[in-house]
A and B are shown apart, each in its own frame.
Chain A
Amino acid sequence: MQRRGFLKLLAAFFTSILSGSFLYSFLRYLAPPSKSSEASKIIVAKAEVAEGQAKEIIINNTPAIVINRPGKGYIVLSRVCTHLGCLVKYEPDRSRLFCPCHAGVYNLDGKVISGPPPKPLPKFPFRVEGENIVIG
């Protein structure tokens, strides 16, 4: 390799390292690490969620909903629509969860029935302890 060619290659190498370092710093600056919310537990009294009813809660900064499904028991779902992030609304008379932004429809298990959402609503783990539902 000619000396000139070698120097060009070396200059290109160091320039890319330098530009890459700046680019990396800028990208990290723009996307700071998310604040990890402490894993919290939410306690909801069973009496608050009668059969066919639901209660909206917030767990780890995520809006969620506890539903007492007729004949199927409790379920805790995220309310964040998997399409574009709007919050779904529980419609007890139609036994479904409806997203007002792009008309996504989920059943009470969180599965997509119609509309553009690509995935079911995420579920939160919970257990029933006496008269309470402990979520998280």
Chain B
Amino acid sequence: MWKGIVEWLEVRIGLKDFLREQFTEYRVPPDINIFYTLGIVAFFAYIIQAVTGFFLLLYYIPHSEHAFQSVQHIMTEVPYGWLIRLMHVVGSNLMVAVVFLHLISVFIMNSYKKPRELTWVVGGLLLLTTLTFCLSGYLLPWSQLSFWATTIVTNLPTAFPYLGDWLAYLLKGSEQVSGTTLNRFFALHVAFLPPILVTLFGLHLFLVRRIGISRPPFSKNYPPPSSWTQYRHEEYPEGIPFYPSFFIKEMYMVVLYMVIMFFVITFMPTLFLPEEASIPADPYTTPLHIKPEWYFLAPYQMLKLIPNKFLGISIQLVLLFIFLFWPFFDTSDERDIRKRPLLLTVFFLTIGVWIILTIWGKYS
């Protein structure tokens, strides 16, 4: 029967030709390294979030009077509900970690350089969409943690004069975070953001395949920097086949991702669910030890340190702009970061400051 289906498709869409062109005859750079697999791991992480999110929707009630109870119901009464929810919670954190790692590896290999500036920008937008997913999903359990974290985030626009208050109101749909806010964050999480993510992902993948995978700049055979004056597809006739050679590496990494996820679920189930995540939202009591998720700790600590609200948020927006359009700031042809001490210093300094702020934010 399987053979019959393949033949049926072969006659209509030329399946074998397509698979040969896209997988077995498609060659990736011969000196490709394990960090090139992080993109597909991130994609896999998104799929897990989509599937577990769909299952959670079957029992979750997006109403301020029922949301917390429905999440408790999923965790304690629905068969294997705890597993689905923990996969979603742990998965969201691991997904952000994988996207960060992917970004760092692309930065170290300077793969964002001409002609791949757009790929970087779309990747940056994918990261922002992912973080918006995390933020909007954070409110849905309607716990103390989610309520107050959302209060902080939705008040960020108030730093800006004139339009700030109106924008904050637009986000919340009311003066304070309320059931209306829950409804719009729910809509954002399950209906508005998914098509944006799919579109950006499609564009990202299109750019990667259209331009060709960039070659790591560290090997001895790496060609000297050249100027890119007209479009060409970067090909590697001497490279290794995408399938099965590179595909197997990608699958190893996907399995490793699952191992880490289930290790956390089994041995550290409360790692991403502090005490405040188990207390229903109380709009009249801010918990004493409210902290954002680990990936927002650095900006959180920065906001605490800068004694001016407008300045604090403006600096973060400027840094975000520089990050998103970094390829247009770094115009050097040299891609080997070891030959660029200034860039190397900027990189380590940024990572160092980020880690210090994160640890400081966690324990301050």
**A contact set with B: CB distance below 8 Å:** 27, 30-32, 34-35, 56, 58, 61, 63, 83-89, 99-103, 114-118
Contact = CB atoms under 8 A, between A and B. Distances in A.
B307 A116 contact: yes
Given A34-B175, A101-B152, A116-B304, A83 B309 contact: yes
A96 to B, nearest CB: 15
B285 A87 contact: yes
A84 B151 contact: yes
Given A115-B304, A116-B306, A86 B286 contact: yes
A100 B288 contact: yes
Interface stretch (B21-29, B125-133, B165-173): B165-173
18 contacts: A30-B170, A31-B170, A58-B284, A84-B151, A85-B151, A85-B155, A85-B176, A86-B151, A89-B286, A89-B288, A100-B290, A101-B148, A101-B290, A102-B152, A102-B304, A116-B306, A116-B308, A117-B309
A87 B309 contact: no
Interface in B123-161: 148, 151-152, 154-156, 158
A31 B166 contact: yes
B304 A103 contact: yes
Contacts of A35: 174
Contacts of A99: 286
B297 to A, nearest CB: 12
B310 interface: yes
Nearest to A86: B286
A51 to B, nearest CB: 25
A32 B288 contact: no
Nearest to A81: B286
A30 B173 contact: yes
Given A102-B304, A115-B307, A87 B284 contact: yes
Contacts of B152: 84-86, 101-102
Interface residues of B, number: 34
A68 B319 CA distance: 45
B298 to A, nearest CB: 14
B303 interface: yes
A56 B284 CA distance: 9
A87 B180 CA distance: 20
A31 B173 contact: yes
Given A30-B170, A100-B289, A116-B304, A61 B175 contact: yes
A87 B286 contact: yes
Contacts of A115: 304, 307
A86 B176 contact: no
B244 interface: no
Contacts of A56: 284
A84 B169 contact: no
A30 to B, nearest CB: 5
Nearest to A35: B174
Given A34-B174, A102-B303, A116-B303, 7 more contacts: A84-B156, A85-B152, A85-B154, A86-B290, A100-B287, A101-B290, A102-B304
Chain B CB count within 10 A is highest, among A31, A100, A102, for: A102
A84 B176 CA distance: 11
A118 B173 contact: no
Contacts of B303: 84, 102, 116
Q: Which 4 A-B pairs have the closest CB atoms?
A: A85-B155, A87-B286, A84-B155, A86-B286
B115 interface: no
A99 B155 CA distance: 15
Chain B CB count within 10 A is highest, among A31, A34, A88, A115, for: A31
A115 B364 CA distance: 13
Nearest to B175: A34
Contacts of B280: none
Interface string B340-364: 0000000000000000000000001
Contacts of A114: 307
Nearest to B288: A100
B194 interface: no
A61 B284 contact: no
A86 B300 CA distance: 14
